[in-house]
A and B are shown apart, each in its own frame.
Chain A
Amino acid sequence: MSALDLGMAPPRRTDAARRVARRGLLFALPAILLLVAIYIVPMLVLAGFSVTDYQLGALNWDFVGLKNFRDAFADPVFLRALWNTVLYAVIVIPAGVFLALGVALLVHGRKRSRAFWETAYFLPVTATLVAMATVWQFLLHPSLGPVNAAIRWLGFEPVSFLGNPALLIPTMAVIGIWQVLGFNMVLFLAGLTAIPKDLHEAARLDGARHPLDRFLTVTWPMLGPTTMFVTVTTSISAFKVFETVAVLTKGRSGSEVLLYALYLEGFEYSNTGYAAALTLIFLAIVLVLSLGQSVQMDRKVHY
């Protein structure tokens, strides 16, 4: 086991240290077993499927090597899904992070009304998407919905948010921001609470008179780690976008995303082998992205 011990200084072989190590392993054991059963074994099974042409329910299958992976990068639907997911993430990540920061700053300054605003902005996190799908269909309806009524009132042409394929991903992204904003706000509020009050005082004495100056000299740098964490969690959830698509558009042209593409292949088309290959590609992308960010996060956290 100690061969797995990466980067830790070799512990002195005292009895106490051995005892602690034994206890540590024992305490972590249930979680480790579950990690193996829920993540690692299924991943290995997927890796096995991915080099076959197995179709769910078929009686026999063949080994096809890396064909599934080659096919994936020539598959227009998969490539569109990849592009759409990136587009979705590019909208959701900055908007979800900075709008949440703005809301958190405003809410943090409130005294008596703070509880109300926290609740108002957090509520969407608790929403049941299946139930909300019908609500969005109505709200965004070109001729029946209040959103388009407002657009018409302002003198513009009504917009078919769920009809025009070019608008599907942006519409999904707005719903994604709606869902993630409250969660991120809470994280930022926590970060803001942790900033010592006297730092602001010191900055004021140092001549940072304008609130904006104080934000730039104190708040923003102090929030650095929070911002990193929020960015990482938002990107992960952005790449995991699935339910909005499954419930609102059923993956109509223009709204294909990675998870939906592999759901289609795996569960709708029963193309198990190919779906497994897509899953591995998806996991590779998400892991690389988040590992890159975590490395950066580590650097920033220990300044």
Chain B
Amino acid sequence: MSRLTRYLPHLVLALGAAVMLLPFYWMLLTSLRSPAEIFDISLWPVPREPAAVANYAQAATTVPMARFMWNGLVVCAGILIVQVLTAVPCAYALAKLRFPGRRLLMALVIAALCVPMQALALPLFVGLATAGLLNTYFAMMAPFFLSVFAIFLFTQAFRSYPDEIIEAARMDGFSELEICWRLVLRGALPSLAAFSVFSVVAHWNDLYWPMIVVNKPTLAPPPLGMLFFSDVETGANYGALMAGATLITAPMVVCFLLARRHFIAGITMTGVK
């Protein structure tokens, strides 16, 4: 009985994890297989005739994969930087400064949380087009410069920062900017890590918006680049396709692994509880 209660949770977790990881496993497996084995139902990990080198070479050379990755990096970094630069002061103001319209702003932020980007795509597209900004990194980033999710998350995290310390810092002659960026944000670094993971993952994987505003291959981020592989009319080298998919997914996995330690602490801190 005691052994059962000890191992049962592991067993249940392992079964669940197997389901969660099956798609990843299959992706990796197929990326190692030769076309002759693609249709095998077997999940045996060792391919009969290894084709990994051929598949990955094809994935990396048929399309300018490095270029796509670079574009993804530029877009994600640009979005994240502006999101943090605008959301942190706003969240600080919402959490710690009483100013007129604060409640209204908070209500607007919560309302905007439910508005999906797709709903506003058309006017945003027309706006960027009239400004002559299509086919730029800016067009890919602009609609995401404001993250209401970040404002919400940081407001929650900043609220728990002790008011006494802020008061004391003001007495000591700290400017409000210094208090915001050097004291309050430093106290909430884990939530910054948590948000960064969400933001980068979301924009690295976004296909919808780049597809609308960008039509130059040199600007395509990874998922748009993926379309060059999984072409409906002619493409069918599933091994190379999955090799490409693995190459695109890997940076996000690494990114999560690096941030993992701060991650849950960060969420805890936001007081989303």
- The total of chain A residues at the interface (CB under 8 A) is 101
Query: Chain B residues near A138 (CB, 8 Å)?
Result: 26, 30, 238
Report the minimal beta-carbon distance from A251 to chain B, rounded to whole angstroms: 13
Identity of the chain B residue whose Cβ is nearest the Cβ of A107 in the assembled complex = B13
A128 touches B268 (CB 8 A): no
B122 touches A144 (CB 8 A): no
What interface size band does chain B fall in? 35 or more
Identity of the chain B residue whose Cβ is nearest the Cβ of A118 in the assembled complex = B260
- Per-residue A-contact encoding for B229-273, CB less than 8 Å = 1, 0 else: 010000000100110110011001101110010011101101011
- Check if A205 is an interface residue, CB within 8 A of chain B: no
Report the minimal beta-carbon distance from A183 to chain B, rounded to whole angstroms: 8
A interface majority secondary structure = helix
Residue among A24, A39, A115, A146 making CB contact with B26, cutoff 8 Å:
A146
Report the minimal beta-carbon distance from B231 to chain A, rounded to whole angstroms: 12
- Per-residue B-contact encoding for A205-238, CB less than 8 Å = 1, 0 else: 0000000000000000001011001000000100
B interface majority secondary structure = helix
Report the minimal beta-carbon distance from A190 to chain B, rounded to whole angstroms: 4
B99 touches A43 (CB 8 A): no
Q: Tell me which of B101, B142, B212 has the highest count of chain A C-beta atoms within 10 A of its own C-beta.
A: B101
- Per-residue A-contact encoding for B202-234, CB less than 8 Å = 1, 0 else: 001101100010000000001100110010000
- Check if B114 is an interface residue, CB within 8 A of chain A: yes
Query: Chain A residues near B16 (CB, 8 Å)?
Result: 103, 121
Residue among B43, B241, B244, B272 making CB contact with A226, cutoff 8 Å:
B272
- Check if B89 is an interface residue, CB within 8 A of chain A: yes
B119 touches A283 (CB 8 A): yes
Residue among B93, B100, B113 making CB contact with A236, cutoff 8 Å:
B113
- Check if B3 is an interface residue, CB within 8 A of chain A: no
Question: In the bound complex, how far is the Cα of B120 from the Cα of A138, in angstroms?
Answer: 34
Report the minimal beta-carbon distance from A38 to chain B, rounded to whole angstroms: 5
Report the minimal beta-carbon distance from B116 to chain A, rounded to whole angstroms: 4
Query: Chain A residues near B272 (CB, 8 Å)?
Result: 187, 190-191, 226, 229
Question: In the bound complex, how far is the Cα of B112 from the Cα of A149, in angstroms?
Answer: 44
- Check if A97 is an interface residue, CB within 8 A of chain B: no
Given A24-B99, A134-B241, check contact A31 B90 (CB 8 Å). yes
Question: In the bound complex, how far is the Cα of B249 from the Cα of A178, in angstroms?
Answer: 16
Query: Chain B residues near A28 (CB, 8 Å)?
Result: 89-90, 93-94, 99, 105
Within 8 A of A (CB), among B128-172: 142-143, 145-146, 148, 151
Q: Give me the 6 closest cross-chain CB pairs, A-B, nearest first.
A: A24-B99, A131-B245, A24-B97, A31-B90, A34-B146, A42-B123
A-B contact sample (18 more), CB < 8 A, given A5-B100, A117-B17, A286-B115: A1-B100, A21-B98, A30-B86, A34-B146, A35-B108, A35-B146, A38-B124, A39-B108, A46-B120, A124-B20, A126-B201, A131-B249, A133-B230, A134-B238, A136-B23, A178-B20, A193-B265, A259-B118
Which residue numbers of A lie inside 8 Å of B, CB to CB? 1-2, 4-8, 11, 17, 20-25, 27-28, 30-32, 34-35, 38-39, 41-43, 45-46, 49, 103, 106-107, 109-110, 113, 115, 117-136, 138-139, 144-146, 149, 178, 181-182, 186-187, 189-191, 193-194, 223, 225-226, 229, 236, 239-240, 242-243, 246-247, 259, 262-263, 266-267, 272, 275-276, 279, 282-283, 286-287, 289-291, 294
Q: What are 11 pairs between A and B in contact, CB < 8 Å?
A: A5-B100, A21-B98, A28-B94, A31-B86, A106-B13, A128-B204, A190-B270, A239-B114, A242-B208, A262-B118, A272-B122
